[in-house]
Amino acid sequence: MAITNEAYVILVAAAPVVELRAAIPFGIYLFGKEEIIKVFLLSIFGNFLPIIPILLLLSPVSEKLRKFFIWRRFFDWFFERTRKKASLIQKYEALGLALFVAIPLPATGIWTGAVAAILFKIKFRFAVFAITAGMILAGIIVSLVCLGVINAPIFISNLMK
């Protein structure tokens, strides 16, 4: 059984690090710009898939794995790295979480956002809503950049100010 192009887009969107920031351009490559709505919806669907499992399972799984030295070092590093990048979330909580996830740069997607929501103890329902809202906004921004409506270098330089 062959994997469909739709499934490839969903899998890329669900993957950590690349998420929908790579799934949308990849989907446009596969389907063409005229299928942007399809690509956008597939990317949103795929990117949404890991949110609830991460929010529900990361704490208990990491606590069990932290009993082993290598995993304790990994999770200490990972959680500290997330804390450093997530000052926006610490300051503005759920709104900051939505804005953090919406920034279409590496390490600001739903995976890092979900970890930050756990670290900063944002209530589950607020975290799901904020991460989803940020994800949709990031998807819109990436789609507009891919379509040439937004000039990516100018947009990114303005984000960095």
Residue 47 makes CB contacts below 8 A (sequence gap 6+) with 13, 14, 19, 20, 23, 109, 110, 135, 139
3-state class (DSSP) for residue 11: helix
Domain boundary assignment for the chain: 5-160
Is 110:19 a contact under the CB 8 Å cutoff?
yes
Q: Three-state SS for 109?
A: coil
Local confidence pLDDT in tens for the 161 residues of the chain:
789 999 999 999 999 999 999 999 999 999 999 999 999 999 999 999 999 999 999 999 999 999 999 999 998 988 888 888 788 888 889 999 999 999 888 788 999 999 999 999 999 999 999 999 999 999 999 999 999 887 766 666 665 56
Q: Is 37 exposed, middle or buried, given 0-12, 13-18 or 19+ CB atoms closer than 10 A?
A: exposed
Predicted TM-score of the model (pTM): 0.89
Instruction: Give the whole-angstrom CA distance, residue 124 versus residue 131.
Output: 10
